[in-house]
Amino acid sequence: MKIVTAAEMRQIDRATSERFGVPSTTLMENAGAAVAEFVLAHWAATRKIAVVCGKGNNGGDGLVVARKLSQAGKQVVVLLLAKLTELKGDAAEMLEQCPVEPVVVTTESELHEAVDDRFFDCDLIVDALLGTGFRPPMSPLYAEAIAAMNIAKAPIVAVDIPSGADADSRRPPEESGKPVARADAIVTFTAPRPAHVFGRLTDGPTVVAPIGTPAEVVASESRSELNLITPADFEALLAPRSPDSHKGDYGHVLVIGGSTGKAGAAAMAGMGALRAGAGLVTVATPRSVQRTVAGFAAELMTEPLDETESGGISMKALEHAKKLCEAKSVLAIGPGLGRDAETVEFVRALVKSAKLPVILDADALNAFAGAVGELDGSKRPLVFTPHPGEFARLIGKDTAAVAAGAVALASTFAKERRCVLVLKGHRTVIATPEHGVWVNATGNAGMAKGGSGDVLTGMIAGLSSSSKKCSGETAGAAAYLHGLAGDIAREEIGDRAMLASDILASIGEAFRRAAEQAGDATVTINP
């Protein structure tokens, strides 16, 4: 799903009407209906609902919401922050159709009077004041209305975007220093804008609802390389398996990792690969920790490697490791390796010589800090899975610079190195050399624990092995499913107590839910 700018969204709406003959009033009607349906589904017990409308198209959407909710039997009050004569075009038409006579407010004193009359003494507020087309400056009246909504006790559903927010910003609204309405949920339309994905505009869901815009219009009118990952993008990877298939059909993943005290990381990666669908998984690890890895799960095969005095993998293991790579589908290297100088030498030698697809994580990434020019993904598929600190070391920048320019830096890196870069974070970014940048919006803070990233590395390897392709698609699918598994685990035990092993246990349910969601035209973005 494309992530589009506010200007592109206006052009998309215009092209939908001009090229495909969909009246703009139909788009507005569908938008308002989508918001009303969301309200009725999530706040079914509400009695009194206040709809706050501006004079533009966002206000027109709000008037449709008011009509639909009134028709559904709700007690609806409309606060219109404009003279009736100021509404033009589609908004004016929706005003004529609205059965609820609005309370017209044109001055701050009138607003205060309306608030004093307990206008916001209601069960729910619908914010239809300003949409994604808003550009500063904001009038004092609208700023006062936003302030009033922000202190109201009722939950707020924003139409398109919380009033006052910059749709193209990737920063939280509080950093702007300008008035922005709070939101407990957002319903936007057709495609998300950058703020919906990156801006942390709400602690609740952001729903992207279809309103009748053809997909080809969105594709043709957007110049952005940004996309939001949805199950529809990797539906083929969710297809049922053939009844007569066998383990050999789904490949053999080799995980190289682990060291004294860090055996669990390699084991978690191995189990992630199995849970994601690999037919076989072998974990090659230092000899002294092999038994620990083998004891993690009976399904893992293990292979002992020569080790250093400190318990890392030795250069003496290089030829053995090269032999292990033969006849394997994918190599995942890095989880729990440690930074022993000899282990670093081993990693660099093995990765540069490997001819199969390679996924580099954790200390395998650190091994190439300052030497990333040695890697070229055009020779065989390469996937990097750093967190911001590892990526900063890899490219010679500080973590703050990575946080500020994650999308651009990831995109540049992927194109220069001809690789797939999975930059982990609140919004994991998957950058590809040729197919743009994809953003994952599943997952939660409970996943911020040791082992979670190792599971993701294994899942990328497992999906790549079972699908026989290692690409941005498999990496993006793994990121989505990994985050969804974390969300499922949170449902069961909450985010404080969640462990990486709980993510592993939820992968099967994540596949099931993703398959169900793949055919759903409505997309929900996590907070």
412-437 confidence digits (pLDDT tens)? 999 999 999 999 999 999 999 999 99
Let me know: does 473 contact 492? Beta carbons within 8 Å.
Answer: no
Q: Looking at domain 250-519, which of 3.40.50.970, 3.40.50.300, 1.10.645.10, 3.40.1190.20 is its CATH number?
A: 3.40.1190.20
CA-CA-CA-CA torsion sign (513, 491, 202, 431) = negative
Tokens representing residue 74 in the block: 């709700």
> Does 163 belong to an annotated binding site?
yes
Delimiting residues of CATH 3.40.50.10260 domain(s) in the chain: 6-223
> Does 453 belong to an annotated binding site?
yes
Phi, psi values for residue 434, rounded to 5°: -125, -15
- From first to last of its 527 residues, the chain has per-residue pLDDT tens of 999 999 999 999 999 999 999 999 999 999 999 999 999 999 999 999 999 999 999 999 999 999 999 999 999 999 999 999 999 999 999 999 999 999 999 999 999 888 766 667 899 999 999 999 898 899 999 999 999 999 999 999 999 999 999 999 999 998 888 999 999 999 999 999 999 999 999 999 999 999 999 999 999 999 889 999 999 999 999 999 999 999 999 999 999 999 999 999 999 999 999 999 999 999 999 999 999 999 999 999 999 999 999 999 999 999 999 999 999 999 999 999 999 999 999 999 999 999 999 999 999 999 999 899 999 999 899 999 999 999 999 999 999 999 999 999 999 999 999 999 999 999 999 999 999 999 999 999 999 999 999 999 999 999 999 999 999 999 999 999 999 999 999 999 999 999 999 999 999 999 999 999 999 999 999 99
Please report, as a single letter, which amino acid is at residue 49. I
Strand order across the 358-360 sheet: 226-228, 437-439, 429-431, 420-423, 382-384, 358-360, 330-333, 252-256, 280-286, 301-305
> Does 132 belong to an annotated binding site?
yes
> Does 483 belong to an annotated binding site?
no
pLDDT given at position 498:
97
Delimiting residues of CATH 3.40.1190.20 domain(s) in the chain: 250-519
pLDDT given at position 117:
63
Tokens representing residue 225 in the block: 């390389």
> Does 59 belong to an annotated binding site?
yes
> Does 169 belong to an annotated binding site?
no
> Does 116 belong to an annotated binding site?
no
pLDDT given at position 318:
98
- d(CA 412, CA 146) in angstroms, rounded, equals 39
> Does 250 belong to an annotated binding site?
no
> Does 133 belong to an annotated binding site?
yes
Tokens representing residue 382 in the block: 């390469």
- Give residue 376's Cα distance to chain centre: 28
> Does 131 belong to an annotated binding site?
yes
Supply the DSSP symbol for 2.
Answer: B
- d(CA 371, CA 394) in angstroms, rounded, equals 8
Question: pLDDT of 61-109, one tens digit each?
Answer: 999 999 999 999 999 999 999 999 999 999 999 999 999 999 999 999 9
> Does 427 belong to an annotated binding site?
yes
- d(CA 147, CA 180) in angstroms, rounded, equals 8
> Does 265 belong to an annotated binding site?
yes
What is the crossing angle of helices 24-42 and 6-20, to 10°?
A: 120
> Does 194 belong to an annotated binding site?
no
> Does 109 belong to an annotated binding site?
no
> Does 20 belong to an annotated binding site?
no
> Does 252 belong to an annotated binding site?
no
> Does 58 belong to an annotated binding site?
yes
Let me know: does 91 contact 55? Beta carbons within 8 Å.
Answer: yes
> Does 387 belong to an annotated binding site?
yes
Question: pLDDT of 235-276, one tens digit each?
Answer: 999 999 999 999 999 999 999 999 999 999 999 999 999 999
Let me know: does 351 contact 379? Beta carbons within 8 Å.
Answer: no
∠ CA(400), CA(173), CA(176), 5° rounding? Answer: 75
pLDDT given at position 115:
79
> Does 137 belong to an annotated binding site?
yes
Buried b / exposed e over 93-109, threshold 16 CB at 10 Å, is bbbeebebebbebeeee
Phi, psi values for residue 428, rounded to 5°: -65, 130
Nearest CA to 442 out of 388, 503, 360 is that of 503
pLDDT given at position 113:
87
> Does 368 belong to an annotated binding site?
no
> Does 171 belong to an annotated binding site?
no
> Does 135 belong to an annotated binding site?
yes
- d(CA 455, CA 472) in angstroms, rounded, equals 18
- d(CA 403, CA 433) in angstroms, rounded, equals 21
pLDDT given at position 118:
66
Q: Which CATH architecture has domain 6-223?
A: 3-Layer(aba) Sandwich (3.40)
